[in-house]
A and B are shown apart, each in its own frame.
Chain A
Amino acid sequence: MKHVGEYRDGALAQGIAAAIRAEADPMRSYRLMEFCGGHTHAIARYGLEDLLPPQVRMIHGPGCPVCVLPVGRIDAAIRLAASPEITLCTYGDLMRVPGSNGDSLLKAKAAGADIRMVYSTLDAVGIAEREPTREVVFFAIGFETTSPPTAMAIRLAAQSGLSNFSIFCNHVLTPAAIRAIVAGPEARRDGVKIDGFVGPAHVSTVIGADAYAFCATEFAKPVAIAGFEPLDVLQAVLMLVRQVNQGRHEIENQYIRAVTANGNRKAQALVAEMFEPREAFEWRGLGALPHSGLRLRPAWSRFDAETRFEIETVAAADHPGCACGAVLRGVKRPEECRLFGVACTPDSPIGACMVSSEGACAAQWSYGRFRSPAASVAAERVPA
């Protein structure tokens, strides 16, 4: 595949990895957070950790929308789907996320709720068109990558005059989360020191590289925006190692083939036309963050499931043993959670980080658990 295969070249990767090993000072540490679940997945899927020297440590960030969605919102969606007139459309990632009392959308579906997996927002609109007697609610989640497609669906529904389509909006904003990781109340209490960020790939195509300027100006943190292919990630790591070595803190753009300084203005305008920031939105692990989530503007409230169906979100506690919150802040590694791999596995997840393949725990369990505790054959065979 053009624009994909080139960035999966194993021989080139060895070269970049050699450069990282040559340039990373063994006397200092480089704690680099990849914000996005997409990066977490690429790192685990291609075994990139084995290519990095020990002083370069990747810390998995909270950029997995499934992982940061609080239990209360899942509960609300499950209650919504229980109404006989409602068809809840959702991306597949959400089906197995645990709500309170071991509930999930998958279980609700088995119990008779009309819950359908869709792959595009347009599919949800299509269902509303084909089944006018159903109240079709789209479970909208995701960062800035995913909110423009939701906005497009609403525009389409409005143009088609659909009165049976609405969204349960859980869209969240990346800069707010980065701010919380660096300087939020939770991070101030127990946060890890981060030396640089591998910046989002597709979020950045929408919001643009300039959106991260605050990282450099306010917090003196270097950022390297990177694509989701493995060579992209390695190149961004090298860029960050160089920034740290040289004491720089700039916003660099490795994914310049798709990310501009200003991003996709048309998508931004569409989102701004329909959505406004909430005063605060609850994030799993990060708490309630100001101006971190979106809701529909009053002019579009007829498409807002929260007003149409009076959805009440009751805050619900995570499982007491679950360390998802600390994992999402980078404070704990997945294997440091006492439930990891014991009570909590991808087959029976307790925490959301174990559900999505982009979650830090699922990535570690599904791809990386051979690294701990005993040495593995593959690890032994990896060249130093």
Chain B
Amino acid sequence: MCLAIPAEVIDLLPDEMARVSLDGILKTISVGLLDEVAVGDYVIVHVGHALARIDEVEAQRTLALLAEMGVAAEEGR
């Protein structure tokens, strides 16, 4: 139900709408729930609406942490 998926904003349209791409799948969604959106942003899309913007810096940090956790565990064996 709370299914939502990150997609890249590729075009801003009138009336708070935007075109987004998920790996080449294109869809028109509403971005009216976000304060500001720019082309190139990744947004979380839920039932045709963008709910949140993805923070690239935090995403990189999370991925680094995930990699680190795994490596630490392997070394600890």
The short answer to whether A and B are in direct contact, CB under 8 Å, is yes
- A 230-271 binary contact with B (CB < 8 Å = 1; else 0): 010001001000000000000000101111000011110010
Is A264 in contact with B5, judged by CB distance below 8 angstroms?
no
The chain B residue with its CB closest to the CB of A149 is B49
Smallest CB separation, A44 vs chain B (Å): 15
CB neighbours (8 Å) of B44 from chain A are 202, 205, 258
Question: How many whole Å from B39's CB to the nearest CB in chain A?
Answer: 15
Which residues of chain B are near A267, meaning CB under 8 Å? 33, 51
Is there an interface contact between A19 and B59, defined as CB atoms closer than 8 Å?
no
- Chain B residue with Cβ nearest A358: B1
Asked if A1 CB lies within 8 Å of chain B CBs, one says: yes
Within A73-119, which residues are at the interface with B (CB < 8 Å)?
Answer: 91, 93, 119
Name the distance in Å between A345's Cβ and chain B's nearest Cβ: 21
A119 to B29, CA, bound (A): 12
Partner of A238, one of B33, B59, B69: B69
B2 touches A19 (CB 8 A): no
B22 proximal to A (CB < 8 A): yes
- How many residues belonging to B are interface residues under a CB distance threshold of 8 Å? 42
**Selected interface stretch from A2-10, A180-188, A303-311:** A2-10
Q: Which residue of B42, B49, B51 is within 8 Å of A3 (Cβ)?
A: B42
User: Which residues on the A side are within 8 Å of B66 (C-beta)?
Assistant: 7, 12, 16, 231, 235
Chain B residues with CB under 8 A of A166: none
**In the complex, per-residue mask of A25-47: 1 if CB is within 8 Å of any chain B CB, else 0:** 00000000000111000000000
B2 to chain A, nearest CB (A): 4
Determine if B33 and A119 form an interchain contact, defined as CB atoms under 8 angstroms apart: no
CB neighbours of A205 from chain B (8 A):
4, 44, 51-52
- Determine which of A6, A15, A22, A264 lies in contact with B33 in the assembled complex, contact meaning CB atoms within 8 Å: A264
A201 within 8 A of B: yes
* Secondary structure of the A contact surface, majority rule: helix
Minimum CB–CB distance from B34 to chain A (whole Å) comes to 7
Q: Once the chains bind, are B74 and A18 in contact (CB under 8 Å)? A: yes
Interface hits, B1-22 → A, CB 8 Å: 1-6, 8, 22
* Most chain B CB neighbours (cut-off 10 Å) among A64, A119, A152, A258: A258
Q: Which of A138-146, A273-281, A333-341, A362-370 contacts B (4 or more CB under 8 A)?
A: A138-146
Q: Which residue of A lies closest to B29 (CB)?
A: A120
- Whether A122 sits at the interface, judged by CB under 8 Å, is yes
A120 and B48 CA atoms in complex are apart in Å by 5
CB nearest neighbor in B for A174: B2
Say yes or no: A145 contacts B35, CB within 8 Å: no
Would A206 and B74 be within 8 Å (CB), given that A16-B66, A231-B66 are in contact?
Answer: no
Give 7 nearest A-B pairs by CB, closest first. Answer: A15-B70, A120-B48, A19-B73, A205-B52, A18-B73, A3-B6, A257-B59
Q: B residues bordering A, Cβ < 8 Å?
A: 1-6, 8, 22-23, 30, 32-35, 42, 44, 46-49, 51-56, 58-59, 61-63, 65-67, 69-74, 76-77
* Known A121-B47, A257-B56, A266-B35; further 20 A-B contacts with Cβ < 8 A: A11-B70, A12-B66, A14-B70, A18-B70, A19-B70, A37-B2, A38-B2, A64-B1, A119-B48, A142-B2, A152-B30, A205-B52, A231-B66, A256-B55, A257-B58, A258-B52, A258-B53, A264-B33, A265-B35, A267-B33
Contact sample, A vs B, 11 pairs, CB 8 Å cutoff: A2-B42, A16-B73, A121-B48, A122-B48, A141-B1, A145-B1, A228-B3, A235-B69, A256-B55, A258-B6, A266-B34
